[in-house]
């Protein structure tokens, strides 16, 4: 394809989107679906609208291309009101990708991608060039161009959906749970692919999801919505994780926040427990005395070799004789290193279905015992911190509640 | 009778019409003498020529009636698609017509439209309406919401969505309706003889034929072959214009 044409096609760039008191009311019902939404989305950013179902996030998104007409207020795209144009004409200039993909079953992949270019009357050669460019962009085999959607996997269909949305290089893309219908592994892959793609194309994207993890991953900014499209917090993912604006946001981000901290923590960073260590040939009476001590943290004795490398757990039967045997009756179970990420360590514990895991240093010497209990205590204590902050902010709580009450 | 569509074939078969109703062969073959004899091969071999014109008449009746029925039902469907309030009355109306006993329908029309092909065609087309209309509507209703939503979201107008997305996707069901309508019209068109419109019915209900199974069997066999042919042709057409369906069944296999 001639380079000149390529640069012309990617000239589209991105536009800002600005909600100005955007309101949607159905019939005469007193509670609007979206109530005076003000939101500024900067050009080239992914803005994720996230919230519980019925919060008005999809309605807010669909007002941009007037799939849902505004009752009040306005939305500006690149400074231009969406109300200025005919709805269908407006929609051709805005990319649209939905969860169910909605590919046309009776048209080939290439024809699907060419939908909007055809509506805009592009000539055949330009459409052909753009289609192959897009197939390349989404990493789809050009041989698939003449297949029908039903012959593609779910993930491939979703990629074609994205390509179709990008066909005329629109300045704004609307994506409604675009990866919601694919399995978790493919979703992860599609998300990563899309982020790489976005780094290249830098579109303004309104992205709707109910999944806070996806929001944190995909968003440059996240708008957390409550009912009636009320934005509770509009901030970067880091800000939302570090400083939730209020209880609602906190709840919505929820336990996930604490779990995320586990990814930042290593096993060695935490105070581990100690189990009574026993060496082969040691007197079992000593070991039993240690186990009977009132401050014992782990009620089992760990068999270690001469280099303090853990070998296994000693059972009652092992300790029935006079001296500690050379092999332990119970296997060691998961073995962790101090450098392991806490989240993986937890996974190991849960997967091994064991209460305790021995933690060793780089030389394989025992340094302590990690238990599910230690991790849950850690999570509880970080929850406690969140609660403290919540308590500090609580004075605002009643005001907010009365605001909402006054509105309804 | 002044429609150019009807004039040509009528002229071609007009003069034989009366004759078929009464005429039988002059001589009596041995096998004809026994009413218990199911099929008289000798008679069949000698008289096979007399089925040519009725077959042609039948063929024309079916084609013209189904085409008219399809045009009317399609118009109804477009109306009902645009104004949903009309769907129920149209469904009920065509349903009532469909429920009228076919022989009674022909006889009831006679005082109004007189004898002849028009009467037969009116009745036969009216019968196809319900089946074709219902199938078009269900074909349109079965287009996935997400497909329509995507179409609208990409900026197709309502008219473009109908003609470029909904109708193409409804083709299998529309053709399905046409197939049923055509096959049943082949059967009902044998009654056109009561409107003096000719057709294979002349060889079934014509005088003396009812006690002579050979003619009924020949006419019936021709009707069945005709129905099967129409069905096969329509099915082939549908397969040719819906290549994505083949892709779907291959993907499923």
**pLDDT score recorded for residue A110:** 94
Tell me what the mean pLDDT of segment A73-91 comes to: 91
Per DSSP, the three-state class of A326 is coil
Q: Per DSSP, which regions of A91-186 are E strands?
A: 94-98, 172-176
User: Does the residue A387 lie in any domain?
Assistant: no
pLDDT at site B238? 92
Q: What is the pLDDT of residues B49-94, one digit of tens each?
A: 888 888 898 899 999 999 999 999 999 999 999 998 889 999 888 8
Residue B30 — very low, low, confident or very high, per pLDDT cuts 50/70/90?
Answer: low
Establish how many alpha carbons lie within 13 A of residue B229's alpha carbon, considering only the half-sphere containing its beta carbon: 10
Question: Is B93 an interface residue toward A (CB < 8 Å)?
Answer: no
CA distance A134 to chain B (A): 17
Q: Does B163 touch chain A (CB under 8 A)?
A: no
Most confident stretch, A27-36, A271-280, B29-38: A271-280
Strand-pair category, A94-98 with A46-50:
unpaired
Q: What is the pLDDT of residues A364-390, one digit of tens each?
A: 999 999 988 888 887 766 543 444 333
* Structural domains counted in chain A: 2
CB A111 within 8 A of CB B164: no
What average pLDDT does this structure show over A33-38?
Answer: 89
> What pLDDT band is residue A403 in, cutting at 50, 70 and 90?
very low
Looking up residue A305, the CATH number of its domain turns out to be 3.10.580.10
What DSSP character marks residue A194? H
Distance in Å, alpha carbon of A408 to nearest chain B alpha carbon: 32
Domains and CATH numbers, chain B: 53-246 (1.10.3720.10)
Closest to B68 (Cα-Cα) out of B128, B151, B154: B128
- Which structural domain, as residue segments, surrounds residue A286? 267-376
Distance from CA of A302 to the nearest CA of B (A): 57
What integer pLDDT is reported at residue A359 of this predicted model? 94
> Which positions in chain A touch B150 (Cβ < 8 Å)?
96, 98, 101-104, 161
Q: Give the number of residues written for chain A.
A: 408
Query: Which two three-digit tokens encode residue A380?
Result: 């509880």
- Asked if the Cβ–Cβ distance from B151 to A102 is below 8 Å, we say yes
Identify all chain B residues contacting A89, using CB atoms and an 8 Å cutoff: 155
Q: Is B146 on the interface with A (CB under 8 A)?
A: yes
Least CB–CB distance from A91: residue in B154, B242, B244: B154
**How does pLDDT run across B126-165, given as a tens digit for each residue?**
889 999 999 999 999 999 999 999 999 999 999 999 999 9
Residue A403 placed within a domain: no
How far A174 CA sits from the closest chain B CA (Å)? 9
Q: What pLDDT shows up at residue B8?
A: 35
Is residue A190 pLDDT above 50, yes or no? yes
Determine the pLDDT at residue A200. 87
In a domain, A168, yes or no: yes
Query: B154 and A104 in contact by Cβ < 8 A?
Result: no
Tell which residue, B150, B17, B95, B14, has the closest CA to residue A113. Answer: B150
Tell me the shortest Cα–Cα distance from A387 to chain B, in angstroms: 43
Q: What is the pTM of this model?
A: 0.69
For B154-213, write each residue's pLDDT tens digit: 999 999 999 999 999 999 999 999 999 999 999 988 888 877 778 887 777 776 666 677
A115 vs B146, B154, B169: nearest CB:
B154
Lowest-confidence segment of A167-176, A261-270, A308-317 by average pLDDT: A261-270
Q: In this model, does residue B32 exceed pLDDT 90?
A: no
The CATH number linked to A214 is: 3.40.50.300
Measured between beta carbons, the chain B residues lying within 8 angstroms of A151 are 247, 250-251
Runs of H (alpha helix) within B100-212 = 102-113, 117-141, 145-153, 158-160, 167-188, 202-205
Nearest to B247 among A101, A119, A150 (CB): A150
User: For residues B100 and B108, what is the distance between their CA atoms, to the nearest angstrom?
Assistant: 10
Lowest mean pLDDT among A212-221, A233-242, B210-219: B210-219
Restricting to B residues 165-204, those with a Cβ less than 8 Å away from any Cβ of A are 165, 168-169
Co-location of A280 and A367 in the same domain: yes
Tokens of A407: 């509105």
3-state secondary structure of A208: strand
Do A225 and A338 fall within a single domain?
no
Residue of B151, B152, B154, B159 to mutate when probing chain A, most A C-beta within 10 A: B154
CB contact under 8 A, A67 and B153: yes
Q: In this complex, do A92 and B155 lie within 8 Å of one another by their Cβ atoms?
A: yes
Lowest mean pLDDT among A89-103, A117-131, B102-116, B230-244: B102-116
Together in a domain, A249 and A271: no
Same domain, A207 and A103: yes
pLDDT above 80 for B15: no
On whether both A210 and A307 belong to a single domain, the answer is no
The confidence band for B23, taking pLDDT boundaries of 50, 70 and 90, is very low
- Mean confidence (pLDDT) of chain B: 81
Which chain B residue lies closest to A112 (C-alpha atoms)? B151
A120/A204 same-domain check: yes
> Do A12 and A144 belong to one domain?
yes
What ipTM goes with this model? Answer: 0.75
Pair A131, A235 in one domain: yes
Say yes or no for a CB contact (<8 Å) between A89 and B155: yes
Is residue A388 assigned to a domain?
Answer: no
Q: Grade residue B28 by pLDDT with cuts at 50, 70 and 90.
A: low
* Orientation angle between helical segments A154-166 and A124-137, nearest 10 degrees: 130
Domain contains A123: yes
CA atoms within 13 A on the CB side of A371: 13
Mean pLDDT is highest, among B20-24, B156-160, B242-246, for: B156-160
What number is the average pLDDT over the span A105-110? 93
Q: Convert A24-57 to b/e letters by CB count within 10 Å (16 or more is b).
A: beeeeeeebbbbebebebebbbbbbbbbeeebbb
**pLDDT score for A8:** 35
A118 against A243, higher pLDDT: A118
Q: Pull the structure tokens for residue A244.
A: 């939730």
**Chain B, nearest residue to A86 by Cα:** B155
In a domain, A390, yes or no: no
Greatest mean pLDDT among A15-19, A194-198, A260-264, A330-334: A15-19
Same domain, A163 and A44: yes
B251 contacts on A by Cβ (under 8 Å): 150-151
Please report which confidence band the pLDDT of residue A212 belongs to, taking 50, 70 and 90 as the band edges. confident
What is the C-alpha separation between A395 and A400, in angstroms, rounded?
A: 10
């Amino acid at each position: 394809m001639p380079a000149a044409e390529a640069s012309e096609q990617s000239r589209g760039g991105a536009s800002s989107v600005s909600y100005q008191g955007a309101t949607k009311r159905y019939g005469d019902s007193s509670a609007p679906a979206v109530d005076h939404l003000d939101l500024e989305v900067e050009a080239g950013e992914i803005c994720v609208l996230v919230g519980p179902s019925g919060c008005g996030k999809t309605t807010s998104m669909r007002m941009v291309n007037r799939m849902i007409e505004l009752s009040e207020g306005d939305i500006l795209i690149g400074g231009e009101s969406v109300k200025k144009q005919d709805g269908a004409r407006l929609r051709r200039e805005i990319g649209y990708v939905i969860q169910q993909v909605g590919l046309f079953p009776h048209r080939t992949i290439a024809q699907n991608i060419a939908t909007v270019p055809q509506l805009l009357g592009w000539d055949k050669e330009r459409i052909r060039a753009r289609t192959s460019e897009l197939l390349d962009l989404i990493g789809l085999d050009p041989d698939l161009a003449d297949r029908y959607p039903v012959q593609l996997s779910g993930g491939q269909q979703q990629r074609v959906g994205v390509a179709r949305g990008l066909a005329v290089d629109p300045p704004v893309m609307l994506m409604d749970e675009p990866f919601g219908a694919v399995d978790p592994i493919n979703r992860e892959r599609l998300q990563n692919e899309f982020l790489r793609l976005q780094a290249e194309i830098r579109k303004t994207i309104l992205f709707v999801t109910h999944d806070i993890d996806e929001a944190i991953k995909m968003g440059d900014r996240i708008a957390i919505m409550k009912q009636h499209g009320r934005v509770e917090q509009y901030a970067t993912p880091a800000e939302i994780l570090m400083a939730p604006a209020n209880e609602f946001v906190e709840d919505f981000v929820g336990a996930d926040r604490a779990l995320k901290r586990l990814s930042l923590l290593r096993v060695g960073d935490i105070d581990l427990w100690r189990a009574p260590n026993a060496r082969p040939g040691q007197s079992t009476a000593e070991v039993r005395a240690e186990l009977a001590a009132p401050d014992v943290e782990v009620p089992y004795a760990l068999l270690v070799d001469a280099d303090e490398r853990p070998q296994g757990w000693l059972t009652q039967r092992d300790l029935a004789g006079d001296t500690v045997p050379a092999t332990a009756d119970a296997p060691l179970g998961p073995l962790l290193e101090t450098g392991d990420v806490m989240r993986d360590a937890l996974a190991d514990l849960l997967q091994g279905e064991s209460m305790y895991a021995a933690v060793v240093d780089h030389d394989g010497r025992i340094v302590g015992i990690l238990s599910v209990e230690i991790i849950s205590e850690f999570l509880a204590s970080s929850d406690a911190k969140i609660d403290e902050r919540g308590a500090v902010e609580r004075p605002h709580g009643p005001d907010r509640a009365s605001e909402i009450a006054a509105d309804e | 009778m002044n429609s150019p569509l009807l004039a040509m074939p009528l002229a071609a078969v007009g003069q034989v019409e009366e004759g078929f109703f009464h005429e039988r062969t002059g001589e009596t073959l041995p096998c004809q003498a026994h009413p218990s004899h199911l099929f008289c091969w000798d008679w069949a071999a000698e008289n096979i020529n007399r089925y040519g014109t009725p077959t042609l008449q039948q063929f024309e009746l079916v084609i013209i009636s189904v085409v008219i029925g399809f045009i009317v039902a399609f118009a109804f469907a477009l109306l009902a698609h645009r104004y949903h309030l009309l769907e129920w009355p149209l469904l009920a109306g065509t349903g009532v017509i469909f429920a009228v006993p076919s022989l009674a329908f022909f006889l009831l029309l006679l005082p109004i439209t007189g004898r002849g092909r028009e009467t037969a065609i009116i009745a036969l087309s009216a019968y196809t309406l319900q089946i074709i209309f219902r199938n078009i509507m269900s074909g349109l209703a079965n287009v996935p919401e997400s497909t329509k939503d995507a179409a609208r979201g990409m900026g197709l107008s309502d008219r473009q969505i109908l003609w470029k997305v909904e109708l193409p996707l409804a083709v299998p069901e529309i053709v399905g309706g046409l197939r049923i309508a055509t096959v049943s019209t082949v059967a009902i068109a044998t009654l056109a003889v009561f409107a003096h419109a000719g057709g294979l019915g002349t060889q079934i209900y014509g005088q003396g034929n009812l006690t002579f199974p050979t003619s009924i069997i020949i006419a019936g066999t021709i009707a069945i072959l005709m129905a099967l042919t129409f069905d096969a042709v329509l099915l082939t057409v549908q397969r040719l214009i819906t290549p994505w369906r083949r892709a779907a069944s291959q993907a499923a296999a």
